[in-house]
Amino acid sequence: MIEELGNALKKILYAGAGIVDIGLEQAEKLGKTLLKQGEALAKRGEDAVNRGKVLNEELKRDMEKAAEEAKEQHESYRSEGQEEAPDMPDVEHMTPEARKALLEKLKALEEEA
């Protein structure tokens, strides 16, 4: 009977050790999986930052080009004796209501002339 109790305790002890071992294996697998996912996420983040840098440089070049073109246009107006470029509304981007109001104003000005 004592021998059976000793055998039962050994089995319980071995089962506990097995459970701990299985838990450690699963924790190690989980750790490796999390590490791989973290590395992949870091890589995607690095790629996004690099793409952002490239887009920022392109935007900077485009803005410098637009500023240079505006400067050249302004200088051409001044060389023609005009102080500023003529004020022209951007009709293509106006709301229908704004276009209607502009048209009415133009008609009124034409009638006055």
Structure tokens at 31: 């750790």
pLDDT computed for residue 91 by the predictor? 76
- Ranges of residues in the chain whose predicted pLDDT is under 50: none
Burial class (CB in 10 A: 0-12, 13-18, 19+), 17: exposed
pLDDT computed for residue 64 by the predictor? 93
Residue type, 77: Y
Distance CA(33)–CA(39), nearest Å, equals 10
Q: How many residues does the chain have?
A: 113
- Residue range 55-79, pLDDT digits in tens: 999 999 999 999 988 888 877 767 7
pLDDT computed for residue 87 by the predictor? 65
One-letter-per-residue 3-state SS of 84-105: CCCCCCCHHHCCHHHHHHHHHH
By residue range, what is the domain housing residue 32?
A: 2-112
Assess contact for 102 and 91: CB atoms under 8 A: yes
Dihedral sign computed on CA atoms, order 97, 98, 102, 108: positive
pLDDT computed for residue 60 by the predictor? 94
pLDDT computed for residue 76 by the predictor? 76
pLDDT computed for residue 69 by the predictor? 87
Q: Please state the domain count of the chain.
A: 1
